[in-house]
Chain A
Amino acid sequence: MVLLNHKKSQIETMGLVIIVILIAFIFIISLFFITKPRASLNENYLKLNADNLRSTILKTNLCQNISIKDEIINCNSGFFLCNNLNSCQDLNNVIKDIIENSVRNNYEFSAGNIVVKKDICREVQASSIQPLANTNIEVSLKLCS
């Protein structure tokens, strides 16, 4: 009877040890998943790219002293100051050219009548928005996966 009780307690101790080891393993594996800061760094990088790209597009000159920002506003009014632009489609092409030479992501750029995009924007990874002063135009650039 005493021998049987001794064996039973040994098995219970073994069970306890196995449970503790399992919990320790689960804890260590969960730590591996919890401590992963890389994702936020990539998000910041994409956000930086989106902000820089929006700012660069708007600032770029199309002809002397006339920027893309000026011509986006003019496109909504239906006239252009630069001789090398005949329609909003020409402006679309310029913006598309700049974006596709700068980032590899799919994207969606919109500013009033101007809408430029590459493929379907399944998931927005970073976006940058800027309202244009004295107009109701909002410039939006989304970088997508």
Chain B
Amino acid sequence: MKKAEIQIQETIIVIFIITIIIGLGIFLFYRYTLSSLEKTKLEYEEDQVYSLLATLPNSAELTYTKLNNPQNAIDTSKLFNVKLANLGFKEINIKQVYPKEDNVTCNKNNYPKCNSYLIYSNKGNKESSQILTTPISLYFPRTNEYKAGLLEIKWYF
């Protein structure tokens, strides 16, 4: 073979190897971007849940007000008719932790002899889930009592 032919073959091999390296780089970059986007999406949803934990107990749909002043407690009598806006794939529960009651979901018939109120549920077809909670005060207008509770937000991803 002539020297020029050998050089052409060398060039082709070099271009081929460089193309493979660039292709591999693009693939790795794509995978990294995809996983980073997934992570960002999860973090964004987590931020939303944190924000919801802070704001939901003070929303007009749930909070107990006396002479129009919020009392920093959830009015349990409002929990049967609550209509929350679309909050995504989440399940929101309010549970009573003290005094202990039977582990029964509340409805108008067993209230207040129950311990959990399901106020929002949209599971979609997601499989993984994570739960965040925060303590809250529950107000019972019938007996004019405050009890200890927990706001539990389970979000699906």
Contacts and interface: CB of A to CB of B under 8 A. Distances in A.
Interface of A: 38, 41, 44-45, 48-49, 52-53, 55-57, 59-61, 64-65, 67, 94, 97-98, 101-103
Interface of B: 43, 46-47, 50, 53-54, 57, 72-73, 97-98, 132-137, 143-150
Most buried by A among B54, B133, B135: B135
Given A48-B53, A55-B137, A60-B148, A41 B47 contact: yes
B115 to A, nearest CB: 11
Contact of B144 (A59, A65, A103): A65
Contacts of A56: 135-137, 148-149
Q: Which 8 A-B pairs have the closest CB atoms?
A: A101-B97, A102-B135, A53-B135, A61-B145, A52-B135, A59-B146, A98-B98, A56-B135
* B53, B98, B146, most chain A CB atoms within 10 A: B98
A98 B149 CA distance: 9
What's the dominant secondary structure at chain B's contact region?
A: strand
Given A41-B47, A57-B148, A98-B97, 8 more contacts: A38-B43, A49-B134, A52-B136, A56-B136, A56-B149, A60-B148, A65-B144, A102-B148
A81 to B, nearest CB: 15
Name A's interface SS.
helix
B97 A61 contact: no
A44 B50 contact: yes
Contacts of A45: 50, 53, 132, 134
Contacts of B149: 56
